[in-house]
Amino acid sequence: MCSVCGCGTESLVADAPAFLKVAAGQSNPGLSQTRTIRVERDILSRNNALAGANRRRLREAGVLALNLVSSPGSGKTSLLVCTITELGGRWPMAVIEGDQQTSNDAERIRQTGVQAVQINTGKGCHLDAHMVGHALERLSLAPGGVLFIENVGNLICPAAFDLGEAAKIVVLSVTEGEDKPLKYPGMFAAADLMLLNKSDLLPYLDFDVDACLASALRVNPRIQILTVSARTGEGLRAFYAWIDGRAALAGASAPMATDRDRPG
């Protein structure tokens, strides 16, 4: 059981050999608060060390890794399918899919011709760096490519777990309510980009866009925000330009260790 979020998980990379099974640490309800905090710190420290290894591996390959996070039903997979379909000729791409069960989303990705590895987390509510490291072993990462990591739908725990990504992208649907950045500030504070998705539904909803954007900027003044729709294509060119800029930086950067890469 994950002591950070309380989830229990025995995750595995779908269709992978048994050695790829990843068992999370287990918490004990009888632990003292001090002991619980120490366990949480140990879990995150180990995760950060593995994330640093993932980051170095990706950087050395010149691969841009983007971690997509959101609540369930925000439209992450639909956005990914649009992105992959329209930008497939620009960079080599691959996807790591995180879900508690099924490989439905990975199958949708594979139908575009892009390779995808499914991670099923069971009862777990987030991906961690260990899982992603094993998934990387299943992918053929071309130099200068883009790796999308679609995290488990959850606006809480994925914020705490570094996967080795270059940036977090939080997807918020207009059907969820404009107060989500204030309700789940950790996720929006950790994100580099916010995609306000399903904008085509705005005429049919009582959703205050300005209040939502103000809330996100209040939590994270540095966050970039784009309003998009996978259905109509609104805002997607700006999103692709954002990826293009990040990919250019990833391909040009020389491998070098940072404090974030070193075990804490």
**Domains with residue ranges and CATH for the chain:** 10-253 (3.40.50.300)
* Cβ contact 189:219 at 8 Å: yes
Q: What pLDDT was estimated at residue 144? A: 86
Percent of the chain whose pLDDT exceeds 90: 71
Q: In the predicted model, is pLDDT for residue 257 greater than 90?
A: no
| CA trace torsion 42, 138, 118, 26 (10° rounding) | -20
β-pair partners for 225: 194
Q: Give the three-class secondary structure for 68.
A: strand
Tens-place pLDDT, residues 31-85: 455 554 565 577 789 999 999 999 999 999 999 999 999 999 999 999 999 999 9
Looking from the CA of 191 toward its CB, the CA atoms found within 13 Å total 30
What number is the average pLDDT over the span 15-27? 41
| Residue 177 CB neighbours (<10 A) | 15
Q: In the predicted model, is pLDDT for residue 138 greater than 60?
A: yes
Q: What pLDDT was estimated at residue 74? A: 96
Q: What pLDDT was estimated at residue 123? A: 82
Grade residue 13 by pLDDT with cuts at 50, 70 and 90: low
Tens-place pLDDT, residues 169-181: 999 999 999 999 9
